[in-house]
Structure 1
Amino acid sequence: MSEVVRNYYENNAEHEWERLNQPYSKIEFLSTLRLFEKYLSPAGHICDVGSGPGRYSIELLKQGYQVTLFEISQQELDIASERIQELGLQAEAYICDNATNMHVLDDEAYEAVLVMGPLYHIHDDEARSKIIRETSRILKKDGVAIFAYINSWGALKAGVSEFSEEFRDLNHLYNYLGELKLDENQGFTECYFTTPVKALDEVTLGGFEIVTYAGTESFLAGMRPEVTRLYNEDRIVYDHLLQVASESCELPQYRDATEHLHIVARKR
């Protein structure tokens, strides 16, 4: 990842902590926790690559896992460390480095590895593939990884309500049917969007067997304004939708058209 990406997260560290508290993003958060519950081993060492301010690391520490946070932004790691200490928890390690430098991690050291952020930002195919191969290297035999991608098909759906003005350019709209490599002037920072088909192939070629994949927004994908309205006006309906969406995030009729794609894979 580039200095552009590093600087974005350095300057938006607190926003990243708050993002998963937002009514719409809470769907992503709960869906991800359900995947942890279903597919991670009940104990062991986990490396959270692209940990951000530690939202998921904290949940895993609460459950007794030993967690290493690996993150490009020192500001993000500082927030994570502060929050973890406030809760009386202790991480195994904090490493500030680029996900393309995972060679600093030991072979077969972890029961699980989370890569839920770095692949959003890497335009170069070989660099992404290297991260996936390195994830396999640091996993123990039969270890599980969760890889997150931004799904261009889901971003297209969300764009109708969130950034439809971009679709005045017809060619740009068509671009969402495949890969997008956006610079900091086109996306929130340098971004990589891809399709579920290509993402699954990329993970498989990196030495993994696909266990499942999920679209974390489920059937609520692309409905941010309506979900936010329900959060403010009818919390019972909102809570019910949140529960069912997170429980159904792996269903094939939903998972290919959500903004965030999570691939659960086992080391071959």
Structure 2
Amino acid sequence: MSEVVKSYYDENAGQEWERLNRPYSGIEFRSTKHLIQKYFPEKGRVCDIGSGPGRYAVELLKQGYNVTLFELSPKELELAAAHIDRLGLKAGGFICGDARELRGMENGHFEAALVLGPLYHILEEQERLRVIQEAYRVLKPGGIVLFGYINSWGALKAGVTEFSESFRELDKIYDYLTELKLDESRGFTECYFTVPPQALKEVQTGGFEILSYAGAEGFLAGTQTEIGRLYREDRVVYDNLLQAASETCEAPQFRDATEHLLVVARKPAGE
């Protein structure tokens, strides 16, 4: 992964910890936790690949999983270690490195894995496949993994309210109907956007069986402004919407048009 991406996360480590506390990002957080509870084994070793500052690692540790954090940004890994220590929790390990080569990870060691960030930032397909294949390598046969992608179709919907000025040229709208590769001048850093059929094909090419996929924001995708208002003005409605969106995040009528795509996959049991 590039130095541009590493530098971005080094400089924004604290912001990444706080991001999932925001009213709209809270939908993504809750949906992801819903899928973890539904598909992960009840106990075991989990590899959090692209762990960031450790928000999901903390949740998993609280539930009794043995979690190893693997992260590109040393600043984010330091922040994760500090939060885990402050909470009196103990991780299985902290490893700083590139997700395309999981150094220090044994073959077939983990019952489950998260890969929620790395695939957002790798522009070339063969390099993304290396990440997927490395996750495959470190999982036990039958192991479960949750892959995260940024979804172009959902980004288009969100863009109507979040960055509509970029649509002054008609072609820019149609760009979001397929994959997008953005450098740091066009994205928040180097970014890769894809669409659900392509993401599913990529995960299968890496050797995995697809169990399900979900749209993290569910039916609330593209409603950031209104969700923020409800969070401030009517917390009961906000909480109800959050619960319903997370519990229905796999529904076909919602999942293809959300900003964050979550693919649930399994390493075949016989391998």
Q: Give SS of 1:227's match.
A: helix
Q: Give SS of 1:70's match.
A: strand
Matching residue of 2:62: 62
Structure 1: stretches of 5+ with no match in the other structure: none
Equivalent residues of 1:57, 1:67 under 8 A apart: yes
> Letter of the aligned partner of 2:248 in structure 1?
S
Matching residue of 1:142: 142
Matching residue of 1:45: 45
Deviation at 1:104, TM superposition (A): 3.5
Deviation at 1:103, TM superposition (A): 4.4
TM-score normalised by structure 2 residue count: 0.98
> Letter of the aligned partner of 2:154 in structure 1?
G
Q: Kindly report which structure 2 residues correspond to 1:44-193, keeping only aligned pairs within 5 A, or say none.
A: 44-193=44-193
Q: Give SS of 1:99's match.
A: coil
Deviation at 1:101, TM superposition (A): 1.8
Q: How many residue pairs end up in the alignment?
A: 268
Task: Give the Cα–Cα distance (whole angstroms) in 2 for the partners of residues 73 and 179 of structure 1.
Answer: 26
Please give the per-residue CA displacement for 1:6-56, whole angstroms capped at 9, x wherever unaligned.
Answer: 000000000000000000000000000000100000010000000000000
Please give the per-residue CA displacement for 1:83-129, whole angstroms capped at 9, x wherever unaligned.
Answer: 10111100010001111122431100100011000000000100001
Matching residue of 1:17: 17
Equivalent residues of 1:24, 1:228 under 8 A apart: yes
Matching residue of 1:199: 199
Q: Give SS of 1:102's match.
A: coil
Equivalent residues of 1:48, 1:70 under 8 A apart: yes
Equivalent residues of 2:61, 2:67 under 8 A apart: yes
Equivalent residues of 1:103, 1:134 under 8 A apart: no
Q: Kindly report which structure 2 residues correspond to 1:201-220, keeping only aligned pairs within 5 A, or say none.
A: 201-220=201-220
Task: Give the Cα–Cα distance (whole angstroms) in 1 for the partners of residues 34 and 59 of structure 2.
Answer: 12
| Structure 1 residue runs of 4 or more that deviate by more than 2 Å after TM superposition | none
Matching residue of 2:233: 233
Q: Percent identity?
A: 61
TM-score normalised by structure 1 residue count: 0.99
Task: Give the Cα–Cα distance (whole angstroms) in 1 for the partners of residues 103 and 22 of structure 2.
Answer: 35
Equivalent residues of 2:101, 2:130 under 8 A apart: no
Task: Give the Cα–Cα distance (whole angstroms) in 2 for the partners of residues 78 and 139 of structure 1.
Answer: 25
Task: Give the Cα–Cα distance (whole angstroms) in 2 for the partners of residues 133 and 115 of structure 1.
Answer: 12
Deviation at 1:133, TM superposition (A): 1.0
Task: Give the Cα–Cα distance (whole angstroms) in 1 for the partners of residues 97 and 232 of structure 2.
Answer: 39
Task: Give the Cα–Cα distance (whole angstroms) in 2 for the partners of residues 105 and 166 of structure 1.
Answer: 42
> Letter of the aligned partner of 1:140 in structure 2?
K
Task: Give the Cα–Cα distance (whole angstroms) in 1 for the partners of residues 160 and 104 of structure 2.
Answer: 42
Task: Give the Cα–Cα distance (whole angstroms) in 1 for the partners of residues 171 and 128 of structure 2.
Answer: 26
Matching residue of 1:253: 253
> Letter of the aligned partner of 1:257 in structure 2?
A
Deviation at 1:82, TM superposition (A): 0.6
Task: Give the Cα–Cα distance (whole angstroms) in 1 for the partners of residues 213 and 77 of structure 2.
Answer: 28
Task: Give the Cα–Cα distance (whole angstroms) in 2 for the partners of residues 160 and 2 of structure 1.
Answer: 30
> Letter of the aligned partner of 1:186 in structure 2?
R
